[in-house]
Protein backbone atom coordinates (compact mmCIF):
# COMPACT_ATOMS: atom_id res chain seq x y z
CA UNK A 1 0.00 0.00 0.00
CA UNK A 2 1.38 3.47 -0.92
CA UNK A 3 1.59 6.43 1.37
CA UNK A 4 -0.63 9.45 0.99
CA UNK A 5 0.88 12.86 0.22
CA UNK A 6 0.04 13.92 3.79
CA UNK A 7 1.84 10.91 5.27
CA UNK A 8 4.81 11.55 3.03
CA UNK A 9 4.92 15.21 4.08
CA UNK A 10 4.61 14.32 7.75
CA UNK A 11 7.48 11.83 7.42
CA UNK A 12 9.64 14.36 5.56
CA UNK A 13 8.99 17.01 8.23
CA UNK A 14 9.65 14.54 11.07
CA UNK A 15 12.92 13.43 9.45
CA UNK A 16 14.03 17.04 9.07
CA UNK A 17 13.07 17.82 12.67
CA UNK A 18 15.11 14.85 13.89
CA UNK A 19 18.11 15.95 11.82
CA UNK A 20 17.91 19.53 13.12
CA UNK A 21 17.49 18.35 16.72
CA UNK A 22 20.62 16.19 16.42
CA UNK A 23 22.52 19.14 14.96
CA UNK A 24 21.20 21.44 17.69
CA UNK A 25 22.38 18.99 20.38
CA UNK A 26 25.86 18.93 18.81
CA UNK A 27 25.99 22.71 18.53
CA UNK A 28 24.75 23.21 22.08
CA UNK A 29 27.51 20.92 23.33
CA UNK A 30 30.06 22.86 21.26
CA UNK A 31 28.74 26.16 22.57
CA UNK A 32 28.92 25.00 26.17
CA UNK A 33 32.50 23.88 25.51
CA UNK A 34 33.44 27.34 24.24
CA UNK A 35 31.79 29.00 27.22
CA UNK A 36 33.71 26.70 29.56
CA UNK A 37 36.96 27.35 27.68
CA UNK A 38 36.44 31.09 27.91
CA UNK A 39 36.23 30.79 31.69
CA UNK A 40 39.74 29.34 31.69
CA UNK A 41 41.28 32.09 29.56
CA UNK A 42 42.32 35.61 30.24
CA UNK A 43 39.26 37.87 30.37
CA UNK A 44 41.13 40.41 28.21
CA UNK A 45 40.16 39.12 24.72
CA UNK A 46 41.88 42.08 23.09
CA UNK A 47 45.34 41.10 24.32
CA UNK A 48 44.94 37.32 24.56
CA UNK A 49 45.13 35.72 21.10
CA UNK A 50 43.34 32.58 22.31
CA UNK A 51 40.62 34.60 23.98
CA UNK A 52 39.73 36.35 20.73
CA UNK A 53 39.54 33.02 18.90
CA UNK A 54 37.35 31.46 21.57
CA UNK A 55 35.08 34.52 21.58
CA UNK A 56 34.76 34.37 17.78
CA UNK A 57 34.04 30.64 17.78
CA UNK A 58 31.51 31.04 20.61
CA UNK A 59 29.78 33.76 18.61
CA UNK A 60 29.72 31.64 15.44
CA UNK A 61 28.32 28.59 17.22
CA UNK A 62 25.79 30.77 19.03
CA UNK A 63 24.55 32.02 15.66
CA UNK A 64 24.26 28.44 14.37
CA UNK A 65 22.28 27.47 17.49
CA UNK A 66 19.87 30.37 16.90
CA UNK A 67 19.51 29.34 13.24
CA UNK A 68 18.77 25.72 14.18
CA UNK A 69 16.14 26.82 16.70
CA UNK A 70 14.53 29.05 14.07
CA UNK A 71 14.53 26.11 11.64
CA UNK A 72 12.74 23.95 14.23
CA UNK A 73 10.11 26.69 14.64
CA UNK A 74 9.64 26.70 10.84
CA UNK A 75 9.18 22.94 10.83
CA UNK A 76 6.68 23.16 13.69
CA UNK A 77 4.74 25.77 11.70
CA UNK A 78 4.82 23.48 8.65
CA UNK A 79 3.33 20.66 10.74
CA UNK A 80 0.63 23.08 11.93
CA UNK A 81 -0.14 23.89 8.27
CA UNK A 82 -0.25 20.18 7.49
CA UNK A 83 -2.80 19.62 10.27
CA UNK A 84 -4.79 22.65 9.10
CA UNK A 85 -4.83 21.39 5.52
CA UNK A 86 -2.86 24.34 4.12
CA UNK A 87 0.54 22.65 3.79
CA UNK A 88 1.83 22.80 0.21
CA UNK A 89 -0.11 25.99 -0.57
CA UNK A 90 1.74 29.23 -1.21
CA UNK A 91 1.02 31.78 1.51
CA UNK A 92 1.33 34.61 -1.03
CA UNK A 93 -0.60 33.52 -4.13
CA UNK A 94 -2.48 30.49 -2.79
CA UNK A 95 -1.18 28.25 -5.56
CA UNK A 96 0.42 24.87 -5.03
CA UNK A 97 4.03 24.61 -3.97
CA UNK A 98 5.72 22.10 -6.29
CA UNK A 99 6.53 18.78 -4.63
CA UNK A 100 10.18 19.10 -5.65
CA UNK A 101 10.45 22.34 -3.68
CA UNK A 102 8.83 20.70 -0.65
CA UNK A 103 11.26 17.78 -0.88
CA UNK A 104 14.19 20.19 -0.73
CA UNK A 105 12.59 22.68 1.67
CA UNK A 106 9.91 20.81 3.63
CA UNK A 107 8.94 23.96 5.55
CA UNK A 108 8.56 26.12 2.41
CA UNK A 109 5.76 28.68 2.74
CA UNK A 110 5.84 29.98 -0.81
CA UNK A 111 6.01 28.71 -4.36
CA UNK A 112 9.15 29.34 -6.38
CA UNK A 113 7.68 32.35 -8.20
CA UNK A 114 6.60 34.10 -5.02
CA UNK A 115 9.84 33.24 -3.22
CA UNK A 116 11.76 35.02 -5.96
CA UNK A 117 9.76 38.22 -5.81
Q: Can you give the pTM of this predicted structure?
A: 0.77
pLDDT digit string (tens) for 38-78?
Answer: 665 555 555 555 556 777 888 888 899 999 999 999 999 99
Residues 9/87, Cβ–Cβ less than 8 Å: yes
User: Is residue 63 within a helix (H) or strand (E), and if so which, with residue range?
Assistant: helix 49-84
Amino acid sequence: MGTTPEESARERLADEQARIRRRLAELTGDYEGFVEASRDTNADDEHDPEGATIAFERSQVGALVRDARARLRELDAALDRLHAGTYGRCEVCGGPIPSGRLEVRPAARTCVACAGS
